[in-house]
Amino acid sequence: MPATVRGGVELRKALRNFAPDLGKETQKEIANALKPIVKEAKGFVTESPLSNWAREGGKFPIFNAQLVKRGIGYKTTPSKPNRRGFTSLAQIRNMSAAGAIYETAGRRAPGIKPSSRPNFAEAMGNLEGSGKDRGRLIFRAFENDYGNATKAVLKAIDNAGKTFNATVGKR
């Protein structure tokens, strides 16, 4: 899923300082590339996959399909660096707790046998994707996109860099 772009954050800062219109246009292009995946992921949300998950009470987040759909969105601004120093230039994320659980429940945790999987995760359906990048909503929509969004985001960043260099070079 991730693609490596060197100098992406620096380019975004330079665009903001020297060519704000080009920076805004680039963010719009990135957003347009991510919107179809978000829309498709929201379409995969169904009513509570488990009979007791929609009931009130307890500390476990309650599954509400409308809240899960509302929690799926995108972000086109760079994230803070993680522990290894990597940042994300664009993200599709699920901000609802129940949606995040539904997305990833049943992934194999470190130190657990591959054949052991919680019973509730089996009731939710299969995980789409490969390796640790597997899920039921966002990852499934991303798999169905066949990398078109990644290509569009990289193309938008590359075009912005070329346009910026051509514009600044003329000054």
pLDDT (tens digit, 9 = 90+) per residue, 16-40? 778 888 888 888 999 999 999 999 9
Q: Report pLDDT for 18.
A: 80
More confident residue, 137 or 3: 137
- For 31-42, give the DSSP string: HHHHHHHHHHHH
Please, are residues 31 and 91 in contact by the beta-carbon 8 Å criterion?
A: no
Q: pLDDT tens digit string along 131-142?
A: 677 888 998 999
This prediction has a pTM of 0.78
Percent of the chain past pLDDT 70, that is, above it, reads: 86
Average model confidence (pLDDT) across the chain: 82
Q: Report pLDDT for 2.
A: 61
- Torsion over CA: 127, 129, 130, 134 (sign): negative
Domain ranges in the chain are 8-170
Task: Give the count of beta carbons closer than 10 Å to the beta carbon of residue 5.
Answer: 15
Residue 85 has pLDDT above 70, yes or no: yes
Tell the residue number behind the tokens 């966002």, with chain if given: 138
C-alpha span between 119 and 26 (Å, rounded): 44
More confident residue, 111 or 41: 41
